[in-house]
Amino acid sequence: MPLNLPDFETLKHYLEPVFYLTDPERRVFVGYLLVSLVLAIVILSRQSAPFLPTVKQIFNPRLWRHPSVLLDIKLISVNHLFWIFMLAPFFGSQIATAIATKRVLVDLFGRGDFLTWSTLHVSLLYTAVLFVADDFARFFTHLCYHKIPLLWRFHAVHHSATILTPLTLYRVHIVEVILNAMRSIFVAGVIGGIFIWLFTGKIAPLEILGVSIFSLMFNLAGANLRHSPIWLGYGKVEKWVLSPAQHQIHHSANPAHFDKNFGVMIALWDRIFGTWVASEQTQVNAFGLSENAEVKQTLRHHLTGL
Ligand SMILES: [Zn+2]
Ligand SMILES: [Zn+2]
């Protein structure tokens, strides 16, 4: 029986992580990477550190062959295969959650649809509420990953990276991939359900190029530098919006920095929970789980958590 070669769409499905580079919904979209590179060059040129050697260091093949970076790539591949073959069929869409939420609200409070706002106003409110709720859910699950020993075992995989590159974003244990997917579906579904119940007409987020305006702003503000050695602080703005440097503090191997800056964009949650640390007058000397102990950067060592 002749074997058919897979078509482009099928290949793209299997090799999806490679196509993150061309997807504006992904942080490692080539456009956002370029913006971060320009920011990195501006930051380096303003520092006393020798400029060219540092830029050369970013592109040094030895850095990209470091066991920590190679493990990032292995985990991206293994997680993707796990996801498409084993997990994706079990994850319904957020629409099912939204419908269930609306049904509960109708049962409790009767038929909604009592607000007739313009589509633009509904979209503005929906985008803002979804952004705040999603940001808080990310903060809170991240706090749980650190405070609950069983969850820390899996989240430690993200923290065992000793070299941070934009790819480290995807260096997560499969258990964290599953929990994060459940979180996103739950938040988007519940907020969607509430809005469908409240408002008549169409509910759609405000997007540019298919990307939420908040995600776009976040990525254009150098989000890729969060996982990099380039120190970009936001000064006084850090009280409201977390900077890439603040996430580097979160990855610091210095025990004084452990369990700090859990948030993604909104700094308020960390300030409320007493975990906020500014980047000014703070220095990170090394990334990883500990300043002394070396963690083996092998897939085998990380598969069951640390
Ligand atoms: Zn963490
Ligand atoms: Zn991180």
Distances (CA, A) of 18 to 260, 270, 294: 32, 33, 30
- The whole-number pLDDT of residue 298 equals 85
**HSE (side-chain half, CA atoms, 13 Å) at 186:** 12
Tokens 């459940």 map to which residue? 182
Task: Please tell me the distance from the alpha carbon of residue 224 to that of residue 244, in angstroms, as a whole number.
Answer: 8
- The whole-number pLDDT of residue 134 equals 95
- Strands (E) across the chain are located at 207-208, 211-212
Q: Write phi, then psi, for 40 (nearest 5 degrees).
A: -60, -45
Distance 209 CA to ligand 1 centre (A): 30
Distance 273 CA to ligand 2 centre (A): 19
Give the distance, in angstroms, between the CA of residue 96 and the centroid of all CA atoms in the same chain. Answer: 24
Crossing angle of helices 119-147 and 174-198, in 10° steps, is: 150
CB 199 within 8 A of CB 109: no
Q: What is the DSSP letter of 3?
A: P
Distance 49 CA to ligand 1 centre (A): 29
For the chain, 306 residues long, the average pLDDT of each consecutive 10-residue run is 69 82 90 90 76 74 88 90 77 80 86 76 89 96 97 95 93 93 91 86 73 89 92 94 96 94 97 96 90 82 82
CB 282 within 8 A of CB 249: yes
Distance 191 CA to ligand 1 centre (A): 26
- The whole-number pLDDT of residue 111 equals 81
- The whole-number pLDDT of residue 262 equals 97
Distance 139 CA to ligand 1 centre (A): 10
- The whole-number pLDDT of residue 13 equals 77
- The whole-number pLDDT of residue 50 equals 65
Distance 32 CA to ligand 2 centre (A): 17
Looking at the CA of 147, which ligand is closest?
A: 1
- The whole-number pLDDT of residue 49 equals 64
Distance 223 CA to ligand 2 centre (A): 11
**HSE (side-chain half, CA atoms, 13 Å) at 155:** 18
Is 249 buried (19+), middle (13-18) or exposed (0-12) by CB count in 10 A? buried
